[in-house]
């Protein structure tokens, strides 16, 4: 039986479109429009959930930003940080920099659940992390940046890499520069990314050594911290990372210039070293900081992503499929 030209063209177009959508979901190429056809509500669902979480607790914005950072600095942006330990698997959550410290997993779970209802098996947890980090900064008054998507989720994690790759709050300037350099960042980009401490809080245990041993710390600042961090039983008390912890701004860099950096690693950025000038620049020009921070975040979100057949799209971000 003869096939009409119109019928042939329709079938060819339908096959081509289906193939294009399939390739758009599994190719190794990251794209700003990766989910345009397969999950068009990806951004609105993520943004709405992040805004709701941050509205309930401003600190959650900082937690989601930090969660993205702790993922990407350990073998790339692959959502390995989200994997729970099992009887046969050890993830990264119990690493020194993460244990009893990382937060926001429930927000990622909420976003994933909502996305699975609308477009099951399509959006990766790694892409959710990158989008949630950006939306968190925006929700707290910071800059936005353009992201590309199509990352896959890892089926492995590395406790040892989490323990070695993430900089410590006790890091020296040279150690910070080296840690970020290992991930391909310049010293200037390291300073810009350190501005993430414009938001959020830290536990007393992370800065007690600076409080007790740094003679240059601002005296009134130290007095206030000591009242909030008693030597007995106060390790888990919280203190703001800068004077405006619920607002993403450049106050952090001005605090450093008056010896009010909360963490030792913060104050190292302004301590007579090579990054002093950049701290002054960001402290006096919020637009320059916002621009540089956004640019560095784009670079961080693209650290060694898994794409195509290298990885999977987890149905549950806490475990492999």
Q: Which of these, 18, 21, 19, 12, lies nearest to 40 by C-alpha position?
A: 21
Distance CA 197, CA 276 (A): 17
Whether residues 148 and 217 share a domain: the answer is no
Based on the structure, what is the number of domains in the chain?
A: 2
Whether residues 151 and 58 share a domain: the answer is yes
Distance CA 5, CA 231 (A): 83
Structural domain of 196: 173-300
Q: According to the model, what pLDDT value does residue 28 have?
A: 58
Whether residues 290 and 255 share a domain: the answer is yes
Whether residues 205 and 145 share a domain: the answer is no
Identify the active-site residue in 68, 70, 197, 264: 70
Whether residues 130 and 47 share a domain: the answer is yes
SS3 316: strand
Whether residues 153 and 190 share a domain: the answer is no
20 lies in some domain: no
pTM comes to: 0.90
Whether residues 156 and 190 share a domain: the answer is no
Distance CA 156, CA 59 (A): 29
Of 166, 190, 221, the last residue of a domain is: 166
Active site residue 70: yes
Taking only the tens place, the pLDDT of each residue in 16-42 is 333 333 333 334 589 999 999 999 999
Whether residues 112 and 130 share a domain: the answer is yes
Taking only the tens place, the pLDDT of each residue in 103-143 is 999 999 999 999 999 999 999 999 999 999 999 999 999 99
SS3 233: coil
Q: Give the CATH number of the domain where residue 213 resides.
A: 1.10.420.10
Q: According to the model, what pLDDT value does residue 121 have?
A: 97
Distance CA 254, CA 159 (A): 36
Q: According to the model, what pLDDT value does residue 233 have?
A: 82
């Amino acid at each position: 039986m003869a096939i009409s030209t119109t019928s042939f063209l329709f079938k060819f177009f339908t096959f081509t479109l289906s193939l294009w959508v399939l390739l758009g979901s599994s190719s190794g190429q990251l794209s700003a429009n990766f989910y345009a056809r397969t999950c068009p509500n990806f951004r609105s669902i993520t943004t709405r959930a992040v805004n709701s979480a941050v509205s309930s607790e401003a600190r959650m914005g900082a937690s989601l930003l930090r969660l993205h950072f702790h993922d990407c600095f350990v073998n790339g942006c692959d959502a390995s940080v989200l994997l729970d330990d099992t009887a046969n698997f050890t993830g990264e959550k119990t690493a020194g920099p993460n244990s009893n410290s990382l937060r926001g997993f429930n927000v990622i779970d909420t976003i994933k659940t909502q996305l699975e209802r609308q477009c099951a098996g399509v959006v990766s947890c790694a892409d959710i992390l990158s989008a949630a980090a950006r939306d968190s900064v925006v929700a707290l008054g910071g800059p936005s940046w353009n992201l590309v998507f199509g990352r896959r989720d890892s089926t492995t994690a590395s406790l040892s890499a989490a323990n070695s790759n993430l900089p410590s709050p006790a890091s020296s300037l040279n150690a910070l520069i080296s840690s970020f350099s290992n991930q391909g960042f310049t010293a200037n980009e390291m300073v810009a990314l350190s501005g993430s401490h414009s938001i959020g809080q830290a536990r007393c245990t992370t800065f007690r050594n600076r409080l007790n041993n740094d003679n240059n710390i601002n005296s009134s600042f130290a007095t206030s911290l000591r009242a909030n961090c008693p030597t007995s039983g106060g390790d888990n008390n919280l203190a703001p990372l800068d004077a405006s912890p619920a607002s993403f701004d450049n106050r952090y860099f001005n605090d450093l210039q008056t010896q009010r950096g909360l963490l030792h690693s913060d104050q190292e950025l302004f301590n007579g070293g090579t990054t002093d000038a950049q701290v002054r620049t960001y402290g006096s020009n919020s637009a320059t900081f916002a621009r540089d921070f956004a640019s560095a975040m784009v670079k961080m979100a693209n650290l060694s992503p898994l794409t195509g057949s290298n990885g999977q799209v987890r149905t549950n971000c806490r475990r492999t499929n």
